[in-house]
Structure 1
Amino acid sequence: MAVLHAVFGRRLVRADRPSGRLLAAQLVLFATAVTLVPESNWLLFGLIPLIFQLAGLRTAMVGVVLANTALPVSDLILRPEAFGPDLVIATISAAAGIWLGFWIIRVIEQSQERHRLNQELEASRAEVARLSREAGVTAERSRLAAEIHDTLAQGFTSIITLLQAADPELKDEKIALAVRTARENLAESRSLVAALSPSPLASGSLPSAVRRQVDRFAEESGVRAGLRVTGDERELPTAAEVVLLRAAQEALTNVRRHASAREAAVLLAYGPGSVRLVVRDDGCGFEPGAADGYGLSGMRARAKQVSGAVTVRSDPDTGTTVEVEVPA
């Protein structure tokens, strides 16, 4: 029995692989031992824990009963005078062995449950820390957006108003140039406010926020634009939604400023494990390798933060396609 356990049993126990064959072999060897030498019944102290290691709870309970009945059964044939006392001992031993094995298994299960709960607690703490960081980042971005709106944007608006009051027809070229410059910088500051503030998502879903951006783009630029949503719409993590919304804003801003397009189309596609945002235009295109000045480097950086990817395809004949895909 010791050799059998050393060669096969230890490996199976360490691998937590129950083995009915090995258990049956040990029971046969034990029954042989107590039949030949009744004092071998003391091996039950080591055999009962081994039974619970080699089998599940129900099988182990049956094995304990069989191991304890081996001596009384042999007594019926070889030692009838010892049958009564050995039967009493076997009954007590079987009951104690089953109770002890059941108690040990419950202790193990409770330890495993505590380990699982500790892991969940650690995961919850990490999630709380992540959400706290996101909340802090969102608050800081909102503060910066408010500062830009209240200082730079308002200042450019005041400059434009003062210059137009001095020369309503903008006949003076220098004043006209100053007004154009101030308007361009006002547009830039508004873009910064839009990029920093997550407010479009606060008032609705991601598709509705993107649709508002598309409608605003069409109204301001005069370029025909539409949004198509495919797949099963679902709620995404805030970070992923912000990345997709900012990508739509940046791509549409590039279309308005650089593409000279007649039409633009936006696709928001919900897939089983990811969400894609695709912005296409029929404009003049550009060299994708030299496009980092169009805000694409920032778009890629934001997508990388959520394990996403940005793909850009551009051609003078077919226009430009910007695709952003994030896991969700």
Structure 2
Amino acid sequence: MIETLRYPKALRWWDLAVAGVSIFVAYALIGSRIMGDPSMQGSWFWVGAAAWAALVVVYLVIGRTALLRSALDLPARPADAAFVVALVAATALATSAYPGLAVIQAVGYPMIWVLLRRYPAAVAGSIALAAAVGAGMCVSSGRMGDPQPWIGSSVTALLSLGFAIALGTWISRISHEGERQRRLVAELTEAQHEVARLSTEAGASAERERLSRELHDTLTQSLAGLVMLSEQAGRALDAGETERGRERIARVEAAARGAVAEARAIVASGRPVGDGGLEAVLVRAAERLAEDSGLDVRCDFDSAAPLGREQQVVLLRVAQEGLSNARRHARATSVLVRLRGLSGDRVELAVVDDGVGPMGAGPGSPGPGAAAADPAGTADPAPSGQATSGELLSGYGIAGLRERVELAGGELVFAAAPGGGSQLIARIPTGVALAHDSTDGAPA
């Protein structure tokens, strides 16, 4: 199929060249015969005509196919070399009949350089053709009475050979450079495909990392809250406190609906932090924690710095992690969420609690067996084996949060708060967009 499509285009110029030389050969032979050239009288006319006719037949039978294989860069065959031999022999015989038939070399040299693809072989073939032309012209010139036929024949052959080698060398270098460029383009194309594949894999890996962070920062915390509310509801029902149990079950339903909304936000990942901006979302998160756990949660906002959506999401995640720590691990009674502007176009979000502190022994903190009060005034003891705030330093929450804050160009600090308890502080610049994480889905 490939050969059929490219056959006319690959051989068109060769056919035109052979046809042009054929016209010139016919003109030379017939003109010399009509003009009464003695060298063209008798059998020599037919020798020259037969030599050229035989060469045309060989070209049509095997030469065109050989040239086509070369044009398509297909492996050479013995028939290719056989055509070169026939070309040299026919040229020698034709020029022996009439010197003007040396015009055959006009197509002979290009064919040799195309068919003999290796440079040494092409040079050797050119030398053979030049020797055939020189020998044939020497014979025909001597027959026409030239006292020193070898001089003119040698000069003509050498000039033709020099021109053919120079032109062939130049064309070969162009061909080799084109082949080198073709290989480079192929390698570049392959490299681009590899880069595209790696980029796809990197994008998939980044998306998995984003989802893991979102699941921890949103759904995991929501599910932990559901577990806590469910345990409280169960204890209230066991104690016969029906009204309080129903209130806790209603809280479970509301929290579950919130978890569904969070899951949809993670999938969508295309909406802002929420209605009212970051401060409104922080207030709602604080109110939810106060309702669910009975903690005294306060908000203190003193920042008018403009924050992009990505920066707001990062600060919201910090607040969620700090509130979750205060509820699940710190055994605190009060929490402060503070947002304020700093010099140098930076903003700071801090979540401060009065719990056990990073080392689990903060001044004024309740002991391991202390309980946090709930809205009804009933104590819910902490589960046995519960982690302290200090244990969170090596957990996925703080580690993943620190990576997210650093991607935003900021820093994260988790340390003891003055007077006891712990504080989680994030400081980020207001004008730096996230470099690798553009997560913007967040609960309203």
Higher share in helix: 1
Give the TM-score band, short-chain normalised.
0.3 to 0.5
TM-score scaled by structure 1? 0.48
TM-score by length of 2: 0.36
Larger Rg: 2
1 or 2 for the larger relative contact order (CA 8 Å, sep ≥6)?
2
